[in-house]
Amino acid sequence: MKYVVMSVWDVGKAAELAKIQDKVDTAPPSGYKTLARYVCLAQPVSGPPSGTKVSIEIAEAESAEALAAAQYPAMLAGADINIVPAIDMPIAGAAEVEKKARG
């Protein structure tokens, strides 16, 4: 399943979190794959305090354990992480996906 992983972190911890992320990326947990990662140059939503940055990752995980193993080290280092399940939606196919989801 695919997930959108949003991390909010204090800019003072950027170097520490970058090292942690490099370690996870070099040897990802079994069943976890990062598909894309972005660091926002501005706050994408209102609410994060001044002096924080937001990064967004698109990931694929086979289990909750794989997802936790990939994100927990950054959580321990102080990143606030929100993980949202995502449904693949084809271009010009939103109505069909909505119909299937409704049951």
pTM (predicted TM-score): 0.82
pLDDT 10s digits, 71-88? 999 999 999 999 999 988
Rounded distance, CA 4 to CA 83, Å? 6
Q: What is the pLDDT of residues 7-66, one digit of tens each?
A: 999 999 999 999 999 999 999 999 999 999 999 988 888 888 888 999 999 999 999 999
> Helix, strand, or coil here: 79?
coil
Among the listed residues 87, 83, 78, 36, the one whose alpha carbon sits nearest the alpha carbon of residue 57: 36
All structural domains of the chain: 2-102 (3.30.70.260)
Model confidence pLDDT, tens digit, residues 63-72: 999 999 999 9
101 pLDDT more than 90: no
